[in-house]
């Protein structure tokens, strides 16, 4: 091995980088940005999830005191407010509605006479009275549900022991509002499917379309009567077909082979994945119109995939991001698909409940395609 | 047509940052002529063709094709363009490359088949019709590229270095074909830096540093400079430009 020859290869790589300032910048910007996002954004712990409370407990005056005490108030006071955000509603029906709509992850019901029954049972365990706090959860997000359970359980134990009723108060979480028997993989697999479809389709399209330019074909096509919009839509049709077939195959495998929970319609789940595929190719096409060379396209790939991985909610729940970071996830396309997929597969939601996500994805798709045409026109004749 | 000229440019200028690719290029090409743009690398030959095809916007100046100011979409069906790069789909067969371009020009399947037969005979690639272009040699790809630019029988053909990498025998047959096209009324604008090849053109423009420094028949240019051939004429003219 000749050191001189070896180093001449090394030198040429550095020279190339120095000549391509954008590549050089990206090489540092991407990893630094992603490590910052990761460090800042990830406590890893679930936080700030909404839970509704229905407090029907009227409290109890322990004679001779004239001040009523309440087990319910004590439990609420002991809830870890980093993890849960409490919203009080008046009726159980209202609470159930809130969770069913996806506006909260669980409801805590403190029944009538909770405190009074607790004291009676504590004094005489034989009395036929209930002092049970009910916790009903949306378990479609397994990690979130477990965190809420832990927090409520801790608060119940703490509050009841401080009031001396620890033997009487029980917590019942046997009834789930959604996805009662969901396993962790029922939560992760739909997210991974979405992410796979996104990455595969996006990379395939960005590379295919950029080679249209680098091969000189784009220039030749532009001297024919072909319109830019025809080029973009023609591409989109071809890659949609491929991507939709891919998505269908993946969905079939996760449902038939891995037996992931499907509470809702498989067809609707397919629609979500298919739409995700079409969105991904549109984004790929848009970014490839911004790239002059293959190397630039690759830079876009890392620039898009890193934040999607961290903030898309595909692999771990968005609820593990700090509250102020969460809104950023709306800029991450797979987020919509992952949300919609889980809603369909674990909660059994229909199109009426996920239409917002579907419309968001369709809008991003149309926007990307329109911008691609606009970009191609803009760069014609420069 | 504009004064009998298919192409006319007036003071065409194109700057890329600090680099001046075209520096007031004046060009006029007569209908039915084979017009060669001759000059060294970086003289502005390719840039002028790209401006004429509407691929590059000039910084200033005007260009007209068929009397219409470029860029104009209505002229596209009547022009053919063969870029310097291979610009073919390597994973498609020769046939499918040709067919796609034929379809883009709205030709019928029957018409495409007819044209394909003619063109493949001319570029001597009949046997390779169904081979993927990626498997062909450099010169063969070049011939496919030429065929693609002519599938729709354009009235005006821009050929950017059409004979690079083509063997002498085939080059001779190219010229026969170009003359055939010319007799059918087709105008051909081609770039080259082969001086011997330029001799075959009806008219040539010597391009240097983004300007046409001499224009005329090969004979008139050698006569004008009192030189024996185009190569010497070009060197003489370059020297004159430098001294001026």
Tokens of A270: 């397919």
Do the chains contact at B87 and A215, CB–CB below 8 Å?
yes
**Span B119-137, mean pLDDT?**
94
Report CA-CA distances (Å) from A328 to A191, A325, A332: 18, 6, 7
Strand order through the sheet with B19-30 = B19-30, B5-16, B60-65, B68-69
For A102-118, the pLDDT digits (tens) are 999 999 999 999 999 99
Q: Which of B56, B85, B104 sits opposite A224 (nearest CB)?
A: B104
Interface test with B, best of A217, A221, A227, A292 (most B CBs within 10 A): A217
**What percent of chain A is modeled with pLDDT above 70?**
99
Using DSSP, state whether B185 is helix, strand or coil.
Answer: coil
Cβ neighbours for A370, distance < 8 A, ≥ 6 positions apart: none
Q: What is the pTM of this model?
A: 0.87
Closest CA in chain A for residue B158: A223
Closest CA in chain A for residue B78: A224
Pick the CATH number of A49-178 from 3.40.50.720, 3.40.1710.10, 3.40.50.12280, 2.60.40.10: 3.40.1710.10
Tokens 């919009």, located at residue: A229
For A163-203, the pLDDT digits (tens) are 999 889 999 999 999 988 888 889 999 999 999 999 999 99
Do the chains contact at A219 and B89, CB–CB below 8 Å?
no
For A117-159, the pLDDT digits (tens) are 999 999 888 888 889 999 999 999 999 999 999 999 999 999 9
Report CA-CA distances (Å) from A303 to A34, A49, A152, A308, A364: 9, 29, 40, 9, 18
Do the chains contact at A217 and B89, CB–CB below 8 Å?
yes
Q: Which of A217, A225, A381 sits opposite B76 (nearest CB)?
A: A225
Q: Which of B132, B141, B158 is nearest to B55 (CA)?
A: B158
Using DSSP, state whether B99 is helix, strand or coil.
Answer: helix
Residue A212 C-alpha, separation from nearest chain B C-alpha, in angstroms: 9
**Residue A176 β-bridge partners:** A137
Q: What is the ipTM of this complex?
A: 0.92
State which H helix or E strand residue B213 sits in: strand B211-216
Q: pLDDT value at position B156?
A: 97
Full 3-state SS string of chain A: CCHHHHHHHHHHHHHHHHHCHHHHHHHHHHHHHHHHHHHHHCCCCCCCEEEEEEECCCCEECCCCCCEECHHHHHHHHCCCCCEEEEEECCHHHHHHHHHCCCCCEEEEECCCHHHHHHHHHHCCCCCCCCEEEEEEECCCHHHHHHHHHHHHHHHHHHHHHCCCCCCCEEECCCEEECCCCCHHHHHHHHHHHHHHHHHHHHHHHHHHHHHHHCCHHHHHHCCCCCHHHHHHHHHHHHHHHHHHHHHHHHHHHHHHCCCCCCCCHHHHHHHHHHHHHHHHHHHHHHHHHCCCHHHHHHHHHHHHHHHHHHCCCCCCHHHCCCCCHHHHHHCHHHHHHHHHHHHHHHCCCHHHHHHHHHHHHHHHHHHHHHHHHHHHHHCEC
Question: Do B87 and A220 contact (CB within 8 A), yes or no?
Answer: yes
Q: Per this entry, what is the length of chain A?
A: 382
Q: Which of B55, B84, B90 sits opposite A222 (nearest CB)?
A: B55
Q: Which residues of A touch B101 (CB under 8 A)?
A: 220, 224
Residue A381 reports pLDDT greater than 80: no
Do the chains contact at B83 and A220, CB–CB below 8 Å?
yes
Question: Do B134 and B143 contact (CB within 8 A), yes or no?
Answer: no
Q: Which of A57, A172, A174, A77 is nearest to A119 (CA)?
A: A57
CATH 3.40.1710.10 occupies which residues in chain A?
Answer: 49-178
**Residues on chain A bordering chain B, Cβ-to-Cβ distance under 8 angstroms:** 215-217, 219-226, 380-382
For B47-67, the pLDDT digits (tens) are 999 999 999 999 999 999 999
Closest CA in chain B for residue A234: B104
Rounded Cα distance, A15 and B187, in Å:
45
Interface test with A, best of B81, B82, B134 (most A CBs within 10 A): B81
Handedness of CA A307, A313, A319, A320 (dihedral sign): negative
Tokens of A311: 């903030």
- B54/A contact by beta carbon, under 8 A: yes
Residue B202 reports pLDDT greater than 60: yes
Question: Do B23 and B88 contact (CB within 8 A), yes or no?
Answer: no
Q: Which residues of B touch A226 (CB under 8 A)?
A: 104
Interface test with A, best of B46, B60, B83, B89 (most A CBs within 10 A): B83
Do the chains contact at B71 and A381, CB–CB below 8 Å?
yes
Do the chains contact at A223 and B54, CB–CB below 8 Å?
yes
Q: What is the distance, to the nearest Å, from the Cα of residue A41 to the centroid of all Cα atoms in its chain?
A: 14
List the single range of A46-50, A237-241, A292-296 with lowest mean pLDDT: A292-296
Question: Do A214 and A294 contact (CB within 8 A), yes or no?
Answer: yes
Q: What is the distance, to the nearest Å, from the Cα of residue A179 to the centroid of all Cα atoms in its chain?
A: 17
| Total Cβ atoms within 10 A of residue A372 | 27
Domains of chain B: 5-91+154-243 (3.40.50.300)
Do the chains contact at B86 and A215, CB–CB below 8 Å?
yes
Tokens of A71: 């087990």
Residue B230 C-alpha, separation from nearest chain A C-alpha, in angstroms: 31
Report CA-CA distances (Å) from B200 to A218, B123, B186: 31, 19, 16
Do the chains contact at B53 and A223, CB–CB below 8 Å?
yes
Residue B57 C-alpha, separation from nearest chain A C-alpha, in angstroms: 4
Do the chains contact at B83 and A382, CB–CB below 8 Å?
no
| Total Cβ atoms within 10 A of residue B101 | 24
Residue A7 C-alpha, separation from nearest chain B C-alpha, in angstroms: 32
Residue A382 reports pLDDT greater than 70: no
Residue A208 C-alpha, separation from nearest chain B C-alpha, in angstroms: 11
Instruction: pLDDT band for A306, please (50, 70, 90 cuts).
Output: confident
Rounded Cα distance, B2 and B66, in Å:
7
Q: Which residues of A touch B73 (CB under 8 A)?
A: 225
The answer to whether the bond into B184 is cis (omega within 30° of 0) is no
State which H helix or E strand residue B11 sits in: strand B5-16
**What percent of chain A is modeled with pLDDT above 90?**
70
Q: Which of A215, A222, A380 sits opposite B85 (nearest CB)?
A: A215
Do the chains contact at B57 and A381, CB–CB below 8 Å?
yes
For A224-245, the pLDDT digits (tens) are 999 999 999 999 999 999 988 9
Interface test with B, best of A214, A223, A231, A377 (most B CBs within 10 A): A223
Residue B79 reports pLDDT greater than 60: yes
- Reading phi first (left if > 0) and then psi (alpha if -120 to 50, else beta), residue B72 is in beta
């Amino acid at each position: 091995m000749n050191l001189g020859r070896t180093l001449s290869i090394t030198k040429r790589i550095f020279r190339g980088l120095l000549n391509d300032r954008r590549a050089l910048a990206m090489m540092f910007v991407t990893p630094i940005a992603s490590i910052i996002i990761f460090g800042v954004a990830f406590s890893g712990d679930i936080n700030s999830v909404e839970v509704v409370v229905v407090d029907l407990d009227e409290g109890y005056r322990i004679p001779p005191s004239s001040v009523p005490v309440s087990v319910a108030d004590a439990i609420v006071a002991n809830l870890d407010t980093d993890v849960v955000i409490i919203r009080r509603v008046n009726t159980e029906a209202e609470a159930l509605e809130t969770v069913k709509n996806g506006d909260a992850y669980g409801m805590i019901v403190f029944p009538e006479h909770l405190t009074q029954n607790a004291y009676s049972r504590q004094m005489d365990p034989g009395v036929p009275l209930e002092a049970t706090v009910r916790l009903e959860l949306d378990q479609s997000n397994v990690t979130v549900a477990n965190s809420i359970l832990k927090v409520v359980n801790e608060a119940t134990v703490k509050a009841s022991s401080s009031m001396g009723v620890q033997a009487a108060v029980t917590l019942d979480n046997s009834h789930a509002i959604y996805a009662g028997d969901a396993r962790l993989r029922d939560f992760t697999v739909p997210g991974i499917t979405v992410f796979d479809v996104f990455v595969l389709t996006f990379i395939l399209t960005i590379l295919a379309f950029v080679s249209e330019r680098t091969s000189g074909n784009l220039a030749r096509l532009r001297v024919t009567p072909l319109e830019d919009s025809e080029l973009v839509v023609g591409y989109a049709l071809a890659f949609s077909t491929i991507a939709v077939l891919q998505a269908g195959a993946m969905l079939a495998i996760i449902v038939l082979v891995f037996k992931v929970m499907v509470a809702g319609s498989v067809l609707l789940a397919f629609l979500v994945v298919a739409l995700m595929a079409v969105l991904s190719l549109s984004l790929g096409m848009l970014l490839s119109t911004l790239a002059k060379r293959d190397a630039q396209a690759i830079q876009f790939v890392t620039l898009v995939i890193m934040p999607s991985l961290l903030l898309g909610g595909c692999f771990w729940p968005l609820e593990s991001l700090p509250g102020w970071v969460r809104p950023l996830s709306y800029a991450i396309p797979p987020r919509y698909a992952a949300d919609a997929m889980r809603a369909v597969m674990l909660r059994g939601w229909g199109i009426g409940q996920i239409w917002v996500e579907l419309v968001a994805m369709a809008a991003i798709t149309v926007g990307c395609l329109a911008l691609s045409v606009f970009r191609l026109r803009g760069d014609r004749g420069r | 047509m504009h004064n009998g000229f298919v192409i006319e440019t007036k003071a065409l200028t194109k700057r890329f940052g600090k680099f001046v690719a075209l520096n007031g290029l004046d060009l006029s090409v007569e209908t039915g002529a084979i017009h060669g743009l001759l000059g060294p690398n970086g003289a502005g030959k390719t840039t002028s063709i790209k401006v004429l095809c509407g691929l590059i916007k000039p910084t200033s100046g005007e260009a007209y094709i068929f009397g219409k100011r470029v860029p104009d979409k209505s002229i596209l069906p009547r022009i053919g363009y063969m870029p310097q790069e291979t610009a073919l789909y390597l994973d498609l067969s020769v046939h499918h490359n040709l067919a796609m371009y034929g379809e883009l020009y709205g030709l019928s399947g029957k018409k495409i088949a007819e044209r394909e037969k003619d063109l493949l005979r001319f570029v001597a690639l009949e046997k390779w019709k169904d081979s993927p272009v990626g498997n062909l040699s450099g010169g063969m790809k070049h011939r496919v590229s030429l065929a693609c630019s002519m599938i729709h029988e354009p009235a005006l053909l821009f050929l950017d270095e059409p004979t690079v990498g083509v063997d002498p025998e085939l080059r001779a047959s190219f010229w026969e074909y170009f003359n055939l096209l010319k007799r059918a009324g087709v105008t051909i604008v081609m770039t080259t830096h082969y001086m011997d090849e330029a001799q075959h053109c009806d008219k040539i423009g010597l391009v240097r540093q983004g300007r046409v420094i001499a224009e005329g028949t090969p004979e008139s240019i050698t006569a004008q400079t009192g030189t024996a051939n185009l190569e010497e004429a070009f060197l003489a003219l370059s020297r004159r430009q430098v001294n001026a």
